[in-house]
Structure 1
Amino acid sequence: MKFYPEEYNVAVTFPFTDLNNEAVVPTAVHAKLYDGDDQMLLDMPNLPFDPDAGFKEVIIPAALNVLGVGELSAGRILRVSLLTANGTVRRSFSYIIEGEFRLALMNNSFQTLESAEMLARDMVNLSGWSGASDEQRFVALIEAYNRLTRIPMKFKSADAENLRDRSEMFAEETVILRSAWPTVTEEEFLEWPAYFRKSLRLAQLTEANELLEGDPIAKKHRAGILSETVGESSMMLRSGKVEHGVSSATLQHLTGHVFYSHRIVRA
């Protein structure tokens, strides 16, 4: 798949061949452009073409390669129909348009790729991250962010005006419920205590590394598997912990920040 910057004229060229790569002579060429959600953006019936050229180039104008509000990247799909004497040959071509930055604070990440790379310099056991390409790192960081923002969390911040002793330094507690994560802005995030923001970034980087390494035991836990038998060998997977959808190594960075809601109900 190809990537193009936002507001860029994209040229898609396709040959006049069937699905067996045998040359065909089209009698008409139709095309439709869709977004990544399969919503049609443009219908292009009866495109002009030269049957002797052996190919057709379609220019998708920059106005149709614009990102929506809050989007950092978006897909485009061009579906082509070549009408021939022996039937219709259908082809599809897809590409991605990207904004200036792939990661944005509190949109799909707690940090940029550059910040994650600097953080990784002081961490050990990041073999998955170290051996990954930038594209793989982007994907892993985004997925890690999605997982972490499904966890209710809390942090405490100082009340400087009413501070009387060190025991009150972190007296005021803020809770971020799962439903509140999508509403947190970049400005609000940057106002949170530095120690909590660093914990989130460490957790995101650790979970991204776990994703890049592939943890078969963690996958089995998330699937609800408690035991596994292969031939004459069996293995029990420890249970009893609350499953948050992230690895145990990731949760270590969130010690004291995971929010548990306790309700008392009448029997």
Structure 2
Amino acid sequence: MKLYPENYDVTIRVSFVDLNGAKITPSEVRAVLFNGEDEVVVNFGSLPFDPLETGKDIVIPAAFNILGEGALSEARILKVQLTTNAGIIRYSSVYAIEGEFRLAVMENSFMSIEAAELLARDIPNLKGWSEATEESRNAALINAFERLIRIPMKFKRYEGVEMRHYEETVIPTDAWREITKIEFMTFPASFRKAVRQAQIAEANEILENDVTASKHRAGIISETVGESSVMLRGGLLELGIAKRSSEFLKGHIYYRARLLRG
């Protein structure tokens, strides 16, 4: 799938061939643009074309490639219908439009891709991360963020000159979506660093595609195939994240059944 910046003219080439690749001469070319929710963005109707050409360049104007409010990326689907003497031939083409930044703090990530690149330099053994493309890293960070915000967490704010007293703040799972970037940046630096390290560790596991780790995260303790049996090591299965990710969150995971935001 091709990616294009927001507010950009997109040109899609539709070749005049049938499903077997044989050349055809259509009598009509119709096109409709949909978004990722299969809603019509614009119906281009019947388009002018030259039957002597081998195809038609369909231009989707920038006005139809604008992101919705708060969206960081959106899909577009162009469905084309070629009318021929032998019947109708349908084609579809998918592309994505993106804003200036793929990641947005507290919308789909705890940090920008630039901040992640810098922090990852201080975390050893990130094989999946180091071998991935930037686009794959972005996608993995987004998925890691979604896993982490399913976990209730806590942090402490120490007060006084001797820092002996503290106030504990609890973030239940249903509160993560309400936290803005401005509020997040007021949290203690140590807590922000911990969740960001956990996000990178989780993204690395996603990129490494560790099958055993995935089964462990899903709560599978043992697996039997034929006469062979495999016992997976126990751990914090209910968290739904990798062991290394949870290690970065040590002291910040809130385990009590009843959760109240401080």
- Shorter-chain TM band: over 0.9
The share of aligned pairs that are identical, in percent, is 52
Say which is worse superposed, 148-157 or 221-230, in terms of deviation. Answer: 221-230
Change in 2 beyond 3 A, CA 1:123/1:2: same
CA RMSD of aligned residues (A): 1.4
Match of 1:110 in 2: 110
Counterparts of 1:203-222 in structure 2 under 5 Å?
203-222=198-217
Aligned residue for 1:243, secondary structure, equals helix
Moved over 4 A (4+): none
Structure 2 unaligned segments of length 5 or more: list them.
Answer: none
- Change in CA separation of 1:164 and 1:122 when aligned onto 2, cut-off 3 Å: closer
Match of 1:233 among 228, 231, 234: 228
For residues 147 and 255 of structure 2, the distance between their equivalents in structure 1, rounded to whole angstroms, comes to 17
Q: In structure 2, what is the equivalent of residue 247 of structure 1? A: 242
| Cα distance in structure 1, aligned partners of 2:52 and 2:251 | 70
**CA-CA distance at 1:216 after TM superposition:** 1.7
Q: If the length of structure 1 is used for normalisation, what is the TM-score? A: 0.92
Distance 2:190 2:29 in 1: 59
The amino acid that maps onto 1:54 is T
Superposition pairs of residues 28-47 of structure 1, within 5 angstroms? 28-47=28-47
Correspondence 1:166 to 2:147: no
Structure 2 Cα separation of the partners of residues 198 and 119 of structure 1: 9
- Within 5 Å, which residues of 2 pair with 1:29-178? 29-159=29-159, 163=160, 165-168=162-165, 171-178=166-173
Look up the SS of the partner of 1:79 in the other structure: strand
Report the 3-state secondary structure (helix = DSSP H, G, I; strand = E; otherwise coil) of the residue aligned with 2:250: coil
> Aligned partners of 2:213, 2:256: CA distance in 1, in Å?
24
- Describe the SS at the equivalent of 1:22: coil
How far apart, CA to CA, are the structure 1 residues paired with 2:71 and 2:45?
29
Shift of the 115–240 alpha-carbon distance from structure 1 to 2, 3 Å rule, reads: closer
TM-score by length of 2: 0.94
What residue number does 1:196 align with?
Answer: 191
Amino acid in the other structure paired with 2:54: G
Alignment partners' CA distance in 2, 1:223 and 1:115: 29
1:229 CA displacement: 2.3
What amino acid is the match of 1:187? I
- Segment of structure 1 superposing worse, 113-122 or 223-232: 223-232
Distance (whole Å) between structure 2 residues aligned to residue 182 and residue 89 of structure 1 = 44
What amino acid does structure 2 have at the position aligned with 1:210?
A: E
SS in 1 for 2:191: helix
Supply the distance in 1 between the matched residues of 2:180 and 2:163 (Cα, whole angstroms): 30
Tell me the distance in 2 between the aligned counterparts of 1:4 and 1:242: 39
Q: 1:164: how far off?
A: 6.1
Q: Deviations over 1:113-166 (max 9, x none)?
A: 11111111111111111111111111111110111011111111133xxx2643
Give, in whole Å, the separation in 2 of the partners of 1:249 and 1:110. 17
The count of corresponding residues between Structure 1 and Structure 2 is: 258
Structure-2 separation of matches of 1:240 and 1:115: 30
**Paired letter, 1:212:** L
Larger mean Cα displacement after TM superposition, 209-218 or 140-149: 209-218
> What SS does the corresponding residue of 1:246 show, helix, strand or coil?
coil
